[in-house]
Structure 1
Amino acid sequence: MKIIIAGAGEVGTHLAKMLSNEYHDLMVVEPDADRIKNLSTITDAPCIEGSPSSFQVLSEAGIQKADLFIAVTPSEETNILSASLAKRLGAKKVIARIDKNEYLLPANKEIFMDMGIDYLYYPEKIAGREVVDLLSQSFSTEFVDFANKKLLLIVFKLEESSPIINKTLLQAAGQRMELNYRAVAISRNGETIIPTPTDRFKVGDIVYVIANEAGAPDLVKFTGKTPIEVRNVMILGGSRIGTWIARDLENKLGVKMIEISKERCLKLVDDLPNTLVLRGDGRNSDFLIEEGLEHMDAFIAVTGNSETNILACMLAKRLGVKKTIAEIENIDYIKLAESVGVDTVINKKLITAGRIFRFTMSTDVQSIKVLAGSDAEVLEFIVKPSSPAVRGAVRSINFPKDATIGGLVRGDLSIIVTGDTQIQPYDRIVVFALPSAINKIGKYFN
């Protein structure tokens, strides 16, 4: 597939890094020479210095033969213009990153379709939605739903009090004939493994579990944590993510928002009538304590500074806040944040890259999620008739060992997959895969 990425910022660079490991004809267009230089230290993807909204630059990049054009520059206007031009100049499919929710309204989306833009992505809204979902699953560090929540991927860290410490997967599952959940991966000391039935759980393991609706409530007992009911939330940072979260929560929970900018505070007061907006510096621990941080059930740090978010979450943890969530834009800081006790990390680059990455796969992928605390990915397929997956029980189809089929949805049924499961045409399949398996698994379902 010939792919052109417009923009070598954080999202574009991460996408280029992901795609350079695949078998694609890749080209990056970027007007900033320093960003091109930085990209060259990370990946061998070829670059053209120039504006992605230039006819000449797009032609030089080979837009006439492009299968996919991805506009992810920091400028929303540049993304929209370059994506529209790319489609008119021959690109088969075009994607643009945007920064305004109004563009996603049904009536407005039709306008962008008329301009030739196939898909719009608003990373801050997607990230905000993830945070709200996580608050409903307070014991989980990451949460992904499939097929309208018929299947869930729930991620949690094992505490010393967990009853499954030092038990194998078989022992943890017990004697149940019908599974409602199953561990599909363990992240331990920075390494992600697909566990075997004899692998044992250890303190500090980050466990990835596929569950159906019946199984999700039971999982909390395995974490070693006490379930909490979130009633009061403090949000640090009146960013687009923070605003979206507050708007969604303010009529259901008690919400306080801390923002350092006076001008931004005045706007937030008008936009969020049921949120208590306070002006202050999130780096000032005394201020946060004075505003009742220790009485919060959850603390969400979404300023534009990763270090501030991590330190504020550490303070919240020390004061007894049960659930902390931090926006970390520097990928190198993700494992640091997890190691110092931050419960959940969100990263817009990974969120956006995961949503876009599925369009680059040669097989038909319904959705793909790039996980923040792991190098693995979760993919959703619809099984085609006569595909290899329907030719026998799962244990007999020779599925790659660096991936595992977690569950499937068949009509109104959600089923946790075992070796004896027989997959049927049109099942919706959820697969957990390490990077080495990504190019191998699609053929089983297509």
Structure 2
Amino acid sequence: MKIIIAGAYAIGTHLAKLLSRNDQDIVLIDEDEERLNNVTGDYDLMTVHASPSSVKALKNAGTGNADLYIGVTPDENMNMNSCIMAKALGAKKTVAKVNNYEFMEPELKNLFGKVGIDSLIYPENLAAYDIVNGLKMSWVRQRWDVHNGALVMLGIKLRETCEILNEPLKDLCKPESPYHIVAVKRGDETIIPRGDDVLKIYDMAYFMTTRNYIPYIRKIVGKEHYVDVKNVMVMGGGNTAIRAVQMMPEYMNAKILEDDERRCEQINELIDTDKVMVINGDGRDIPLLIEEGVKNTQAFVALTGNAETNILACLTAKRLGVRKTIAMVENIDYVKMAESLDIGTIINKKAIAASHIYQMMLDSDVKNTRFLMTANADVAEFTAQEGSKVTKKKVYELGLPHGTTIGGLVRNGEGHLVSGGSQIEAGDIVVVFCHNINMSKIEKFFN
């Protein structure tokens, strides 16, 4: 598959990393030679030093034969215009990153499609969705809904109160059990567990279950004492913060702390001020936090453009007794540090946006895919095709690559967990967890 990425910035380089693992034919276009040089040593791709707005550059990059053209520069006009040109030159599918939420209105989809832009990506909206999902379940670090919630994957940090520590998984995850543990992150290591593996304190365990068993999972991991989130403090009044407070359910109240007075005025014009209070101040100011009721707040969300500020603010909030903290960490280099400090949920817009685009390059019928940055792994929903390899044998007989596990499947809209003796049928939507595996190797089982 030939993929052209315009923009060697954060999203483009992260996307190149994901795609290069799958031996794709990747071309990266950027007008800054230094940015291109920073990428070429790490990934298997070709670079073109030119502006994505140049028709000549697009032709030289082979856009006419491209299966997917992706515009992810910081300039939304360049992204959209280059997608229009790429489509006219023969690219099969185009996607553009935009900074204006108005472009995401459903009625505009056909309009953009007619001019040559097949899909739009608004990273702030994707990040806001993840943030609100995290707030709805204060005891969960990561949540991923499969097929509209028929199955749910929960990433949970295990503490002393967990009831299932140090027991072999073969005794915990039986065929009749209401959950499967599909992966474990232990320190820097990601484990696709086997029957003799055990869970240890401070592991990040990924559970696959159905919605009705979420309370049971909460009990066995010892998180029943975590209070539900009703009051939220948000530090930073950028677009991600605006989208997040607009998505919050009715029962949540939010305060936005923004140190730019002019931005505070703009925020007041954009949001429902009956539900959200905007405060002009610095979220690292401890007396201010106390004055604004941080001790009666169940969640603190740090969304400034500075990773260090967000990490420090979350640590401060934890010291003041806030149980749930979420930090936006845009610098990939800081993600591991943030994890080691145990600050809570980490949001990285570039990784979220790249994951969203990533699924477009998969050949088989893939409904959804997600790169879990914390676990350095992929989770994908594959649809089993008639006559495909997965429908001919039971799961334990399939010979799936090492580092792969099937977490569950959705059949006729209903979620089911999968064991070794399960039989996958044509039309089933199957959730596959992959660590250090070329996704094309998994696709072959479903085509």
With structure 1 as the length reference, what TM-score do the two structures score?
0.96
Q: Residue by residue, what CA displacement relative to the aligned partner does 1:282-309 show, whole Å, maximum 9, x if unpaired?
A: 3333332332222211111111111111
CA distance in 1, matches of 2:343, 2:410: 33
Secondary structure, counterpart of 1:166 in structure 2: coil
What is the identity, as a one-letter code, of the residue corresponding to 1:256?
K
Question: 1:99-138 alignment to 2 at 5 Å?
Answer: 99-138=99-138
CA distance in 2, matches of 1:170, 1:177: 10
**Contact 1:403/1:433 (<8 A) preserved:** yes
**Contact 1:400/1:437 (<8 A) preserved:** no
**Contact 1:345/1:372 (<8 A) preserved:** no
What is the identity, as a one-letter code, of the residue corresponding to 1:55?
V
State the identity %: 40
Count of paired positions: 444
What is the identity, as a one-letter code, of the residue corresponding to 2:258?
E
The ranges of structure 1 where at least 4 consecutive aligned residues each deviate by more than 3 angstroms after the TM superposition are none
Q: Residue by residue, what CA displacement relative to the aligned partner does 1:359-396 show, whole Å, maximum 9, x if unpaired?
A: 22233322110113111110001110100111121111
Judging changes above 3 Å, is the alpha-carbon distance between structure 1 residues 150 and 356 closer, same or farther for their aligned structure 2 residues?
Answer: same
**Contact 1:134/1:141 (<8 A) preserved:** yes
CA distance in 1, matches of 2:249, 2:182: 35
**Contact 2:385/2:427 (<8 A) preserved:** yes
Counterpart of 1:402 in structure 2 is 403
Secondary structure, counterpart of 1:366 in structure 2: strand
Counterpart of 1:224 in structure 2 is 222
What is the Cα deviation at residue 180 of structure 1?
2.0
Unpaired runs of at least 5, structure 2 = none
What is the identity, as a one-letter code, of the residue corresponding to 2:247?
D
Question: 1:71-86 alignment to 2 at 5 Å?
Answer: 71-86=71-86
What is the Cα deviation at residue 217 of structure 1?
1.6
Counterpart of 1:203 in structure 2 is 201
Counterpart of 1:13 in structure 2 is 13
What is the Cα deviation at residue 134 of structure 1?
1.3
What is the Cα deviation at residue 445 of structure 1?
1.2
CA distance in 1, matches of 2:384, 2:319: 48
CA distance in 1, matches of 2:288, 2:42: 40
Unpaired runs of at least 5, structure 1 = none
Does 2:142 correspond to 1:142?
A: yes
**Contact 2:178/2:209 (<8 A) preserved:** yes
Counterpart of 1:153 in structure 2 is 153
**Which segment is superposed worse, 426-435 or 363-372?**
363-372
What is the Cα deviation at residue 443 of structure 1?
1.0
Counterpart of 1:336 in structure 2 is 337
**Contact 1:402/1:437 (<8 A) preserved:** no
Secondary structure, counterpart of 2:422 in structure 1: coil
CA distance in 2, matches of 1:362, 1:413: 25
Does 2:372 correspond to 1:374?
A: no
CA distance in 1, matches of 2:61, 2:414: 47
Does 2:306 correspond to 1:305?
A: yes
What is the Cα deviation at residue 177 of structure 1?
5.7
**Which segment is superposed worse, 93-102 or 276-285?**
276-285
Q: Residue by residue, what CA displacement relative to the aligned partner does 1:256-292 show, whole Å, maximum 9, x if unpaired?
A: 0001111110011121222110111233333323322
Aligned-pair Cα RMSD in Å: 1.5
**Which segment is superposed worse, 373-382 or 93-102?**
93-102
**Which segment is superposed worse, 69-78 or 101-110?**
101-110
Does 2:62 correspond to 1:62?
A: yes
What is the identity, as a one-letter code, of the residue corresponding to 1:216?
I
Secondary structure, counterpart of 2:81 in structure 1: helix
Q: Residue by residue, what CA displacement relative to the aligned partner does 1:105-134 show, whole Å, maximum 9, x if unpaired?
A: 121111101111111111110110111111
CA distance in 2, matches of 1:183, 1:23: 29
Secondary structure, counterpart of 1:353 in structure 2: helix
Secondary structure, counterpart of 1:152 in structure 2: strand
**Contact 1:403/1:437 (<8 A) preserved:** no
Judging changes above 3 Å, is the alpha-carbon distance between structure 1 residues 258 and 427 closer, same or farther for their aligned structure 2 residues?
Answer: same
**Contact 2:384/2:427 (<8 A) preserved:** yes
Counterpart of 1:53 in structure 2 is 53
What is the identity, as a one-letter code, of the residue corresponding to 2:377?
A
Counterpart of 2:38 in structure 1 is 38
With structure 2 as the length reference, what TM-score do the two structures score?
0.96
**Contact 1:83/1:96 (<8 A) preserved:** yes
Secondary structure, counterpart of 1:252 in structure 2: coil
**Contact 2:15/2:358 (<8 A) preserved:** yes
**Contact 1:409/1:428 (<8 A) preserved:** yes
Does 2:270 correspond to 1:290?
A: no
CA distance in 1, matches of 2:401, 2:60: 40
Q: Residue by residue, what CA displacement relative to the aligned partner does 1:130-175 show, whole Å, maximum 9, x if unpaired?
A: 11111112111000001110101100011012111111113334xx
What is the identity, as a one-letter code, of the residue corresponding to 1:236?
M
